[in-house]
Every structure is written in C-alpha cells, then in structure tokens.
Structure 1
Amino acid sequence: MSTATGNLILGWDVGGAHLKRAVLAPDGTLLSVEMAACPLWQGLDKLDAAMAALSSATGRSVVTMTGELTDLWPDRATGVAGLSRALAERLGADTGIYAGRAGFVPATDAPDYAADVASANWHATAAALARLCGDGVLVDIGSTTTDIIRFAGTQVCFAGYNDAERMESGELVYSGAARTPVMALAPTLPFRGRQVPLMAEHFATTADIHRLTGDLPEGADLHPAADGGEKTREASARRLLRMVGRDLGPCTLAEAEALAAFATEVQLHRLHVALAQVLSAGGVAADASLVGAGVGRFLAQRLAARAGRSYRDAGVVLAGDPALAAVAADCAPAVAVARLATY
C-alpha cells in the first residue's frame, strides 16, 4: 500500500531490534501497521533498510524509542540525541519525539529531555490505553522484554520511570517471547529425571521454546536463530537440547517439547512474580483487566487467568478495525504514540 498525503499521522516505535510504524488518517482511523527487523546496534544503515522495507506513507511523524539503548552509542543521552537527529533527517524537521511524562517535544529539543525520552514506549501504550479503557494493567510482552504498567483514571501509574527503577519495581522484566536466551530463564531445567544445569551459551532462545509448544505467532521471530539455522520444530529442538548437553537423535522431539513446556512455565512464573509485585502497589481497581500487547501476549492471557483477572487485547482497544487488531497489538507503542498525537 502506498499512501501519499501530508495529513497522515505516522507513529513510530524505533527499537534496538525492530522498527514499527502505524499510520492514522486525519480522522483517527487506523490505516496500517507494519513491523520490520532493525538490528540498530549494527549501524544506522539498518534503520534505513528497515524503513525501506515498509510501505510508502508521508505525513507528520511522531516517535517513541528504545533504540538509544543499543551499543551504537556510549550512553542513553548520546543515543537519544543521535537517534532523534537521525530520525529528523529521515522523517522531517517537524518530527515529534515522545518524552513520556513531558509529552511531545521537537526532535531538536529531545537531548534536553533525554531522561524522559529514553525507552518511554511503555508510557505511550499505557497512556493511550488509560484514555480508552479506564483502569487496567498493561502487560506488553515483546520479543525481548515485558512491561507491566498500571493505569487508572486516565493516568499512568508507575513506581519507576527509567530502566533501572522499572526493573527494581517489577515493571520491566527482561524476558520476551523470542529473543531471550534460554540460559537466562533458569539455572536448571528438568530432563530425564534430573535437574540439569543449563549451558551458559547462546544456543537457544525463547522463540525456540514457544515454537516447540506451538504458541509462537507467525511474524514474531524476525531475527536469525541462535545458530543462524532453520526455524523449524526440529531445528528448535536441536538448539534447545544443546542447552542440557544433549542432541536430537539420541533424544526425541517429544523430550524437547517437554523441556520447552517446562521452560515456558519457568518464564511464566517469573512474569507472575513481577505482576504480583506491581499489583501489590495498589492504585487500580481489584477487578481491573489485564490488557495484553506484544507478540508474546499469549503469555499475558495466561497470566490474567493465574491472577484471577479478566483479559483484554490491546489491539482491539487501539485499532478500531478488527482486521488490524492483531498487528496493532504486536506494535502497540507505534499505534499508541500516533493516537496520543491526535489528543
């Protein structure tokens, strides 16, 4: 699809691993949502390639980012300044940068608001949802991280704002549906009657375990596998079995699937502990729904059941068009930042 009009609003979520873009019509109708792999740590040319992979659309751009975290820059402040400048050069001088609690700022002013701009995409999603659905708890499980954010009375409720504070408060968990190394899930996993220490090697990722359980959504795993190999059940089994010092062949696919199922339970438990910590701070109604977003929201739905709360899909709330609900949930911060620009 190619859309050429200066009246469109383009919402961008510029991450360190993915580029996401939502396009809104002047009346707020969501027209499209797209995502492309963007290994930004390898250079700004990867940003150009990701942008080129998206359909053509022109209009005013608003941006939220986490890409300032990549080691393309020595620190967050330098990353915010460099990435904001690069985006203004590519998207136009009128590009607005989302500074979370400070609202939108011109790209040229972003360095002065670096602490507010850095990794504020969670705030954009929660702020948009707060305007649309009252009390709730956002559980955005992406490829790499999980955000757990309360919102109530149109306000975002958070105990921490920067990454360090949010990790301490349980609101940011470095556990995602695709890119998390399996060795980060637990020190051991059960296999053939024993608790086997996991090898401290990047042999397998959570994409492998969720592929083996049958839960990994199509399009959720856009980066190369840990070994650069195929993305089949057999290849995932081979990678996962390496984590416990085994090989596919002597070990069966069924054994790998059982290993994956338990690894999923370990990941869910960690997320449930974080959710309990966040909920213990209060501030939202006891019956407030969990609102799931991100490519790993199938896990958020299970968390809602474990927590005894109802579940809502962020894409249904944000999109307006049922046909775009799934991709809107996958790319919730991009849709959210575009919607916030219309208020």
Structure 2
Amino acid sequence: MNGVHISSPVHAPTFGWDVGGAHVKVSMIDTSGALCDVAQWACPLWQGLDHLERAIDHVFTRWPDAGAAAAQHALTMTGEMVDLFADRATGVRALTRALAARLGPQTRFFAGAEGWLDAAACADQWRAVASANWLATAQWLATRVPDAVLIDIGSTTTDIIPVVGGRVVAQGANDAARLVSGELVYQGVVRTPLCGVTHQILFRDQTTNVMNEWFATTADVYRLTGELWPAHDQHPSADNGPKTEAASRVRIARMIGRDAADATETEWRRFAQRWRHEQLSTIATNLARVRVAHPALAAAPLVGAGCGRFLATALAQQDGRGYIDFAVLAGVPPANAELAEWVATCAPSVAVALLAHSGARVEAAQTA
C-alpha cells in the first residue's frame, strides 16, 4: 500500500475538505478532536480552476491557521467529474496538484482502503481518490452506528450507503457502479433541473408532459415548500433571475407550458409539493433497492446528511423507522441549530477531518 498516514503535531488543527464540482466544503477540528467550525463556498469548478483558487482564499481568510505550515489538511473530492477535465484521471491529478501547492506539506487525500495519499501518489492511484467523499462519510458513520443506511441528499446528488456490522457494505466502489446499484441517485434539492425529476406530472388533476428544458430547478420547488435554507441556495437560478417565491412560480409554470398568472399562489405551492412527491418517490425506490440487497438493515435507522436531509426525515417517517441526524452523531448540541445545519450539509468534510484526526492519534499512541 502506498498510502501515507497523517502525523499530527499537538499544536496543529486539522482541516477537512470536500472539493466538489459545485461547492467547496471545509471543516476545522482542534487538537482535542473537537469540531470547531464548518463552512461552504460555491465553486463552479466546470468554469475553471480559478474558482477553486478563490475558494481557498476564502478558507484562508476565515481561518488564517489553515495557511500555516503546521496545519493538517485532509481532503476528499468529487470535482474531478466536471467537464473542465478530459477525464477523471486528469481531474484528480490537476486537483491534487493545485490543492497540495496551496495547502502545503501536511496535505493528504482520502483514498478509502488505500489510506491517505500525498499528491504524488494520487497520480497513479487516482481511482481510489476519485469521488470517494461518500465513502469517507460512511466509514466515519460506521464507527458510531453499526447498522444504518446513510442518506446524504445534497444540492446535486443523493448517496444511499448501507452500513452493516460496523462496515460499509456498498455494492458499488465508484460512481458508475453505484448508479447501477441505486446507491447513487443523481438528484438533489438545489441544482437538479426539474425535467430530470420526472417526464410527466399531475397538475389540476390532469397528467401533463414536462418540457425537457432547463426552465427550473429543484431549488424552485423547495423555495415554494419552504424547506430550502436560504444559505444553501448558492447557485444562480435557471434563468439567472431572482431567487424569490414569485420568480420560482414563474419558472415552474414554464415547465408545463404555463405562466404564473394561470394559477393561484396556492395552486403553485401545491404543484411544488407534487414535484417534491416525485423526487421523494425516486429516492424511496432506490432506498428500497439498497435495503433489499441487505436484509440485516430491515429495521435499521436512516442517518440523514446533506442540505436536503429533510427528505431523509420524510423517508424515515414513511417507512416507520428511526432517524438520526448526522450532526447529532458529530456531537453538535441540539441548541446550536445553525452549526448543526452546516455540519450535516458538509458531512464528508467533517468525516475526513475526524478520520484524519483519529488516525493521527492512533499513530502517535503506537509510536509512543
């Protein structure tokens, strides 16, 4: 194994990074292992690496210690998937080089069973690094809840990951295989075009075809249902228009060839609930596929993460099963609602920071 274990000086904080195609999420763990702060920045990586450079600048501004030579940086990513890169290998190599150059010598990349790799090792073992953020979250979860289904519903995707007996037992090891198994559903609560949610939908008791145009996104739906936290609404709307309820009504009306004036606000809100129902149904279908593959999880709780975990709560209620919020597992006090929201939303970044810190403490104890 070519992995490199993180060795953490007692005076150095650990920063966990999840570098996606649309956001950069970063968490800070102090030397005792306590989660101190979490933040997310929009980063449309498909438009160029300069967006990543700006996100790193924001991190250094928020946490000056992140730029110190002693700072530990543990990273995972999905950003290699964007069409800025010719293929995933190129993406991993470009991102790991850029990140290591800015973050310094204590930068390591999560590679699942391969351990922690430096940027040089990532060039050959890019497959282990590519889109491994779901595995980081699930591996940390497995240390806390032996039997569970992780449901991480983000702005763009949904991960459905089985944990049995304290082990991650996902059938798919990469995005291609997870799309086949149902463990990856390419739908989220902010950026997903509504024409990707369903091709037919009910409006005023009639089934209508949906226009295959990027007229509206799921953010429009959850603005109208009141479930999308404004701080998670970081990307432009489909028409680059306002992110208001009135503008969202205009956009979802276009999906079925109508204008907002064709129905009342109540009707459009009911229509948004219908879109919610369709998306929830798709996720539920894939959750059922994962459960069938693992009979031991018949009564296991769902662990919700991501900015769309309100849908995970709804799934647990539908199934009559327990629900655990990722932030609770991470030790966030219930009274700190804002921190809990960010911790659950940025779960992979929290997980890699905690895994790295735990690994560092184990190595130090063994060396001593």
Give the corresponding residue for 1:20. Answer: 25
Q: Which runs of 4+ in 1 moved over 6 A?
A: none
- 1:294 alignment counterpart: 306
Compared CA separation, residues 25 and 283, structure 1 to 2 (3 A) = farther
Which residue pairs with 2:265 in the alignment?
Answer: 253
Q: What corresponds to 2:51 in structure 1?
A: 46
User: What pairs with 1:145-224 in structure 2 (closer than 5 Å)?
Assistant: 145-224=157-236
Equivalent position of 2:287 in the other structure: 275
Aligned to 1:230: 242
Give the drift of 1:321: 4.4
Measured after TM superposition, the shift of residue 320 of structure 1 is 4.1
SS at match of 1:31: strand
Greater strand share, 1 or 2?
1
Q: Write the distance in 2 (CA, Å) between the matches of 1:129 and 1:205.
A: 30
8 A Cα contact 1:99 1:120, kept in partner: yes
Q: Give the counterpart letter for 1:82 in structure 2.
A: A
Amino acid at match of 2:80: E
Q: Give how far 1:6 is off.
A: 5.8
User: Given the superposition, is the C-alpha separation of residues 197 and 309 from structure 1 closer, same or farther in structure 2, using an over 3 Å criterion?
Assistant: same
- 1:149-170 CA-to-partner distances (Å, cap 9, x unmatched) read 0112321111001111000100
Give the RMSD, CA atoms, in angstroms.
1.4
Q: Are 2:93 and 1:78 equivalent residues in the alignment?
A: no
- Counterpart for residue 97 of structure 1: 109
Count of matched residue positions in the alignment of Structure 1 and Structure 2? 339
How high is the TM-score relative to the length of structure 2? 0.89
Deviations for 1:26-47, whole angstroms, at most 9, x for unmatched residues? 1101110000000011111101
User: 293, 296, 315: which one pairs with 2:327?
Assistant: 315
Q: Alpha-carbon deviations, 1:23-74, whole Å to 9, x = none?
A: 0001101110000000011111101222223312321101000000011111
Q: Which runs of 5+ in 2 are unaligned?
A: 1-9, 359-368
SS of residue paired to 1:151: strand
Query: Which amino acid in the other structure matches residue 327 of structure 1?
Result: W
Amino acid at match of 1:141: I
2:15 is aligned to 10
Which residue does 1:114 correspond to in 2?
A: 126
Select between 77-86 and 44-53 the one with higher mean Cα deviation. Answer: 44-53
Deviation at 1:283, TM superposition (A): 5.8
- 1:150–1:284 contact (8 Å) kept in structure 2: no
Deviations 1:278-336 (A, max 9, x none): 01111644321100000000000011112221000001112444433221101000000
Deviations 1:259-290 (A, max 9, x none): 11111000000000000000111164432110
Match status 1:34 vs 2:46: no
3-state SS of 2:230 partner: coil
Q: Which of 332, 343, 359 is residue 328 of structure 1 equivalent to?
A: 343
Structure 1-normalised TM-score? 0.96
Match for residue 138 of structure 2 among 126, 137, 149: 126
Corresponding residue of 2:363 = none
In 2, distance between residues paired with 1:285 and 1:275?
Answer: 11
8 A contact 1:16–1:70 mirrored in 2: yes
CA distance, structure 2, for counterparts of residue 233 and residue 330 of structure 1: 23
Secondary structure, aligned partner of 1:183: helix
Quote how far apart the aligned CAs of 1:196 are: 1.3
Q: Provide Cα deviations, 1:158-202, integer angstroms capped at 9, x if missing partner.
A: 100111100010000001011000001111111233211111110
What CA distance in whole angstroms lies between the structure 2 residues aligned with 1:202 and 1:6? 49
**Whole-Å Cα distance in 1 between the matches of residues 166 and 99 of structure 2?**
30
Aligned counterpart, 1:341: 356
2:76 maps to which residue?
Answer: 64
Name the % identity.
Answer: 48
Using the alignment, how far apart are the partners of 1:154 and 1:111 within structure 2?
31
Question: Are the equivalent residues in 1 in contact too, given 2:93–2:123 (CA < 8 A)?
Answer: yes
| Gaps in structure 1 of 5+ consecutive residues | none
CA contact (8 A) 2:18 2:77 kept: yes
